[in-house]
Structure 1
């Protein structure tokens, strides 16, 4: 059996796919991962022995470019990405028995078109609950499409989001589908998210919401209360066996545990002095500092020996040895910190990060910064919470509950679905998109 895993996104999108690839390989499956052509992703996948197929342009150049994309340019950009990703994925998927996709909406739509072309099962995966429709949470506003601030009915908000998907992504997706001889879709959100998506999030950190609302029958999502039939597997965690660099180990051994500050794939455009603010706030707590360079290219602010700048290091080995972690709130980083039992301060920037910030605060394992731009005073206030003994005790308690088998659960589910498809148990065609292949049951 051969499976294609595909995404167009940052490391937070690619690394869980690498974890699933390793889990599938352990079950005897041949796997390819189609991801952005960034060198760091090629190294990541080579490091675990997974075949890498580069797709489209490097995503880091897009994220950190001098001129962020305007909302007006999004539909055209989405159309171009759909076409480019399709070409990469259709070549990578040759001979595959299933396609699993995540990342930017146009890239997922392209992957589903490839699955239809091949007549194989398709699965969409989300890494956080609020990506998927539910009456129990609000959607995320899309570029140029703000949600009405006075609307509190989540069903209404999800219907508005469905309209925004059709306006922003629908034209490009349908133009491409027409060009390759596939029928147009009349519900872009449902087409991309499918009726039975996977949720690769830890059930303690990011539980799928439930409540008194009784799910209704499709069509979906004309009434967003129906929602998709979400299958939560747990987070897909890639074991990291790399030793810490000698200079990092020496720094850790030279004094009390430091505070790690890093914002991963976030360029931090609105916080030009974030390194200075963070270092000064941590020093005011009497702590040393590890500065993670990340895509924001953070640097030391002076030559004092209480700070060290680090690049791509093994967070699974590092975070158990720090006093706290200040980060952007990506799903992967939040999970890694929680699993390490380290208190965390989340400075959320975009999309899912406010959700993870809120969950960290609700669980008592850290603090949520109010907004994306920290000041000395605002960061000091949340550091006070994170560095308190009670927070560390709570973080250690929650760490013991974090599951590590999510990728294995997903891999077994995928194999079972493909086996049932081969036995002739194919799901019925969608009344909305009429594809030749449907999301896996």
Structure 2
């Protein structure tokens, strides 16, 4: 790569740039793929926001920091505006589009030298419209998705919904196409900036409509068991699992779990919170209502004991899920896959994007229940009760899913796809 060549990479190695602008749910799978590509002797850089750089370094790849931490890059500064955006999906979309557009020039300016010297570029959803621009520039590029986001009314799709499933097929197809177009509009400003930076003609109608229809089909890092019928275009690799050995829990956490049998894990992902301590209190109240101790992971909350619970930082969920009776989570793709592999009952509390899809899949497969993230404490407690009551059935369903998933190696498939891309 341009600088900071990763140790162990042979001279003349294939240079791969992964663009993973977003929160931990975007950075973590990119870091895992980077580690797998490095193991094949490739030179790998990963473009991330500031709070993703350390994870990329830990994987052995070169971080390319294209903007501030995700909270500043993707959310309005006002706590009131953030709260409103979480409550109203249209506002959530508008604030994300505004923030990504505001940072587009910096992102593209930082990326451009790396794009010119890369042999292969893989781009995440937040900058999807860069892919057809790179295609026009003759740079092998493809989209990477961690959920079935492409329109597909007849199968599993993030945009599907039990209510709209009753619409005539043509109307549902048009609705899903619109949702996909709106999603890719998030990177329209970046696509215009990149066209100018690379000396190309302005963005074309093709660029605006179908960023997934380029020389190389998108990669989709989902399990075909959890997502049995995604849109037919992408290459569904299977889940990109953690390549590190399972990391053991801190001794203090083991001791807490020994003293609090039957604990629940209540985790809300890496998205910034305007009032993290209020979120902790709300989740703890639901756990107390069902008579269970709880471990809590809420971004921005101070780690330490609470009445009936313990707020913790980042740990290996593969170890932690062996010690809890159930998990309440936000419905991120990675968390859903890992919780399913662990066989632990799940209560999904989605807020936005593909999280609603994963909640529906968890219910459809008998792995647990779902509840709106903004539901009241009493409703969350009822859903927790139902999740715990269905624990044995959910564990059996998860075991069946795990058995059907045996032998999948999503990273191996993804690496083979990258190796097949030629400049």
> TM-score, normalising length from structure 2?
0.81
For 1:393, the equivalent position in structure 2 comes to 396
1:9-158 correspondence runs (5 A):
9-38=22-51, 41-63=52-74, 65=77, 66=79, 67-68=81-82, 77-104=99-126, 107-110=127-130, 113-114=133-134, 116-117=136-137, 119-129=138-148, 131-136=149-154, 140=159, 153-158=171-176
CA distance in 2, matches of 1:139, 1:316: 26
- Stretch deviating more after TM superposition (227-236 or 311-320): 227-236
SS of match in other structure, 1:321: coil
Distance of aligned partners of 1:343 and 1:174 in 2 relative to their CA distance in 1, 3 Å threshold: same
CA distance in 1, matches of 2:195, 2:116: 19
Q: Is this contact kept in 1: 2:146–2:222, CA < 8 A?
A: yes
Q: Is this contact kept in 1: 2:157–2:357, CA < 8 A?
A: no
For 2:254, the equivalent position in structure 1 comes to 249
CA distance in 2, matches of 1:170, 1:63: 15
For 1:206, the equivalent position in structure 2 comes to 227
CA distance in 2, matches of 1:309, 1:72: 32
Cα deviation per residue 1:196-255 (whole Å; 9 max; x = unaligned)?
Answer: 21111011112334xxxxxxxxxxxxxxxxx66221001112234433122112112234
Distance of aligned partners of 1:139 and 1:251 in 2 relative to their CA distance in 1, 3 Å threshold: closer
CA distance in 2, matches of 1:165, 1:327: 24
CA distance in 2, matches of 1:376, 1:390: 25
SS of match in other structure, 1:88: helix
For 1:231, the equivalent position in structure 2 comes to 235
CA distance in 2, matches of 1:189, 1:158: 16
Shift of the alpha carbon at 1:337? Answer: 0.8
- Stretch deviating more after TM superposition (227-236 or 337-346): 227-236
Shift of the alpha carbon at 1:87? Answer: 1.9
Shift of the alpha carbon at 1:179? Answer: 5.6
CA distance in 2, matches of 1:82, 1:340: 39
Cα deviation per residue 1:271-322 (whole Å; 9 max; x = unaligned)?
Answer: 9743223223223333221011325x3777x744x42110011112111221
Instruction: Pick from 191, 210, 213 the counterpart of residue 194 of structure 1.
Output: 213
Q: Is this contact kept in 1: 2:18–2:122, CA < 8 A?
A: yes
Instruction: Pick from 187, 195, 205 the counterpart of residue 177 of structure 1.
Output: 195
When the two chains are superposed, the root-mean-square deviation of aligned CA atoms in Å is 3.1
Shift of the alpha carbon at 1:349? Answer: 0.3
Q: Is this contact kept in 1: 2:71–2:272, CA < 8 A?
A: no
Cα deviation per residue 1:139-166 (whole Å; 9 max; x = unaligned)?
Answer: 659xxxxx9x978622221343466468
Which consecutive unaligned segments of at least 5 residues does structure 2 have? Answer: 1-13, 86-90
Q: Is this contact kept in 2: 1:6–1:99, CA < 8 A?
A: yes
1:394-409 correspondence runs (5 A):
394-402=397-405, 405-409=409-413
For 2:367, the equivalent position in structure 1 comes to 365
Shift of the alpha carbon at 1:24? Answer: 1.3
Distance of aligned partners of 1:3 and 1:171 in 2 relative to their CA distance in 1, 3 Å threshold: closer
1:315-334 correspondence runs (5 A):
315-334=317-336
Matched, 1:412 2:413: no
Higher helix share: 2
Aligned residue pairs, count: 387
CA distance in 1, matches of 2:96, 2:306: 43
CA distance in 2, matches of 1:351, 1:380: 24
Q: Is this contact kept in 2: 1:275–1:298, CA < 8 A?
A: no
For 2:10, the equivalent position in structure 1 comes to none
Distance of aligned partners of 1:165 and 1:249 in 2 relative to their CA distance in 1, 3 Å threshold: closer
For 1:216, the equivalent position in structure 2 comes to none
Q: Is this contact kept in 2: 1:4–1:99, CA < 8 A?
A: yes
Distance of aligned partners of 1:63 and 1:179 in 2 relative to their CA distance in 1, 3 Å threshold: closer
Shift of the alpha carbon at 1:58? Answer: 1.5
Q: Is this contact kept in 2: 1:324–1:342, CA < 8 A?
A: yes
